[in-house]
Amino acid sequence: MRFLLISVISSIIIVSTMIAPANAARIKDIASIDGVRENQLIGFGLVGGLLGTGDDPKNALYTAEAISGMLSQFGFHIAPESINIKNFAAVAITANMPAYYKPGDRLDATISSIGSAKSLEGGILYRTLLIGHDQNVYAVAQGPVSLGDFIGQSGGRGAKKHSTVGRIIGGAIVERAIPSTVLKDDGTIQINLHNPDFTTAQNISLELQRLFGMGIAIAVDGGTIRIRVPEIYKNDLVPFIAALESLNVQGDAPAKVIINERTGTVVMGGDVQILPVAVAHGNLSITVGPAGRIVGTYEEGGVPVSAQVQVGEGSAEGQAVIEQKETFVRVSAEDIVEGLNALGVAPSDIVAIFQAISAAGALQGALEII
């Protein structure tokens, strides 16, 4: 019976994938299972073996105390003030531990100086305990620090390396697994959307009910879908969750225009619409008419030049208008950008024009400046 149910679910998934809309997405790409997550670990340690590029004795007394504490574990009792720390650096060690990692698995660790060290090049991290937010030890890190080929934002081979941050690939060994609770006490699992949206949450709920029956799923809010696990799978969740993650659903997102003022980049959603509006920007005049007409007037070499572009249905990009349409044509943000580009408008001017259109209330969507 169980094998038959698995086969039925697999068949449903295959059929659902074949008939999925072009802009549909798998649940595993737009959401995550509640209880399955990465966990951040952190520790404080020492990097030794540096060639005089370690912490300054006057500004990093904690480094000497850490060395003294480490030596005391081996029976050596040395006062911190008598230790030369120039070849040592106090560091913070961070690592991300994915769900379901078991003791013996390895993690990459990032090492960063927290003192006055000039460089960690050539150094070795001594054994360091990595703890989670509950203060329990979950991993131990140790090994040679690699600075890699990371260079500054100036680029080029001659750029200076960022020498106070390094990595140890596979340098942390998991000592304790972090428990992941997927199945709730009421026999349900929960899906959390990466980008909460009421329409997407409802679409997922309806798709699950269409495939598995009424009552199996409910959208609790814009970011959460609660799913009732069939009794046969409560002790074997993997096949059921694998089936859920593979489902294709129709996603949705609010209409939005995102503008990067530094680069002039404009990114827009497909549902952003523009109402009829007139904008004057410097020597450029833009009019979006009720028939989808964009008329621009600007100066070239001191001589006024007028150009017009028809956008919307039945028009070609950059094609001059010959006949005036009387019917209303929905003008999208993409149409505006294409029309402005056809008129030769600079990216910085496009940014300013969109800001003006939004201020006038003609932008049917949110405007976000980054």
pLDDT, one tens digit per residue, over 245-279 is: 888 888 777 777 787 777 767 777 667 777 777 77
Q: 144, 48 in Cβ contact below 8 A?
A: no
| pLDDT band for position 362 (cuts 50, 70, 90) | confident
Q: Report how far residue 227's alpha carbon sits from residue 218's, in angstroms, rounded to the nearest whole number.
A: 7
Question: Using only C-alpha atoms, what is the Rg of the chain?
Answer: 30
Which residues are 259's β-sheet partners? 266, 369
Domains of the chain, first to last: 2-36+181-250 (3.90.1150), 39-174 (no CATH), 256-369 (no CATH)
Q: How confident is the model at residue 25 (pLDDT cuts 50, 70, 90)?
A: confident
Give CA angle at 56 (54, 60), nearest 5°.
100
pLDDT at 235 over 70: yes
The mean pLDDT of 206-231, rounded to a whole number, is 88
Tell me, what's the pLDDT at 105? Answer: 95
HSE-CB at 58 with a 13 A cutoff on CA atoms is: 0
SS3 of residue 132 by DSSP: coil
Residue 33: strand, helix, or coil:
strand
**Residues 204 and 223 sit within 8 Å (Cβ to Cβ):** no
Average pLDDT, the chain: 77
120 touches 111 (CB < 8 A): yes
Q: Structure tokens of 8?
A: 């039925």
pLDDT for position 289: 63
The rounded percent of the chain whose pLDDT value lies above 90 is: 24
Beta-strand ranges (E) seen in 222-301 are 224-228, 248-250, 256-260, 265-268, 273-274, 277-281, 284-288, 293-300
For the chain, the 3-state helix, strand and coil shares in percent, each to the nearest 5, are 25, 35, 45
Q: Per-residue confidence at 47, pLDDT binned at 50, 70, 90?
A: very high
* CA gap 341, 294 in Å, rounded: 11
What is the identity of the amino acid at 233?
A: Y
Rounded Cα distance between 141 and 163, Å, is: 20
| Tens digits of residue pLDDT in 139-189 | 999 999 998 754 444 444 544 567 899 999 999 999 999 887 888 888 889
Q: 244: part of which helix (H) or strand (E)?
A: helix 237-245
More confidently predicted of 69 and 343? 69
What pLDDT sits at residue 149?
54
